[in-house]
Amino acid sequence: MSTGAPRDHVDHLLLSVLEHGPLHGYAIVEALRARSAGTPAVATGTLYPALRRLEQAGYLTGEWAAVGGGLSRRTYRLTFSGRAALAGGRSARGRPAGAIGGTRKPCPG
């Protein structure tokens, strides 16, 4: 995933919401809101650029689908690479600070 902590957090949130199946943008917002007790976890101005970035990185695929009345919406689905990135993000979050990169320094004394 990306290198900045806030961006990584947003990426992880989006990938984890899409882990359970494909969703369109508004449904992603609602799923995030439900997870955060009604407080939007990601601003709309951040959501769509993040979804495009994750799609360009190969973590998501998006496709347009007609919803009736001449309207369509883009639905996003997690890819195999996205699932791997999500799993990697989870394991990195579970490591002690000294274990990043898989090596630990011995404690003195």
Q: What is the pLDDT of residues 73-100, one digit of tens each?
A: 999 999 999 999 999 877 766 544 433 3
DSSP helix/strand/coil, 45:
helix
What the block records as the tokens of 77 is: 């689905």
DSSP state for residue 59 in the 8-state scheme = S
Q: Are 1 and 8 in contact (CB under 8 A)?
A: yes
Q: What is the pLDDT of residues 13-56, one digit of tens each?
A: 999 999 999 999 999 998 988 887 877 677 878 899 999 999 99
Q: In order of start, what are the domains of the chain with their CATH numbers?
A: 5-92 (1.10.10.10)
At position 103, the amino acid (one-letter code) is T
